[in-house]
Amino acid sequence: MLVRIVKLTFKPENISSFERIFENSKKQIVAFDGCSHLELYQDLNKSNVFFTYSIWANQSSLENYRNSTFFQQVWGETKKLFSEKPEAWSVAKLQSSNEF
């Protein structure tokens, strides 16, 4: 299992455009082979900062998604809205409070 966390910082005037893109894309993302979970977070202090949290079966699944025509289209629309370069991390979950 691979957890992917992406920090996205938008120009404030582009927040609603991003939210629309996410709303229109989320079902296709989670339906992509290897994706089992997707969440969107918004920073409490900086409303133009968002995080996506997704769970993938493995690195190959994530790479297949990132190389897909669908991703290229959605990312092409999204990256026009940024005010800062996005940051991304691929991490392994070691523990969860549900496992204590």
In this predicted structure, what is the pLDDT of residue 99? 66
Q: Is the pLDDT of residue 100 over 80?
A: no
Q: What is the mean pLDDT of the chain?
A: 96
Give me the sheet containing 2-9, strands edge to edge: 35-42, 49-56, 2-9, 87-91
Q: Which residue has the tokens 């994530």?
A: 62
Question: Predicted confidence band at 9 (pLDDT cuts at 50, 70, 90)?
Answer: very high
In this predicted structure, what is the pLDDT of residue 98? 77
Q: What is the mean pLDDT of residues 7-12?
A: 98
Q: Could you give all domains of the chain from N- to C-terminal order, each with its CATH number? A: 2-93 (3.30.70.100)
Q: What is the mean pLDDT of residues 16-22?
A: 98
Chain centroid to Cα 91, Å, comes to: 14
Q: Is the pLDDT of residue 7 over 80?
A: yes
Q: What is the mean pLDDT of residues 50-70?
A: 98
Write the DSSP string, 15-57.
Answer: HHHHHHHHHHHHHHHHHSTTEEEEEEEE-SS-TTEEEEEEEES
Instruction: Look up residue 6 and give its amino acid.
Output: V
Question: Predicted confidence band at 11 (pLDDT cuts at 50, 70, 90)?
Answer: very high
Tell me the angle at which helices 69-79 and 15-31 cross, rounded to the nearest 10 degrees. 170
Closest CA to 33 of 62, 70, 67: 62
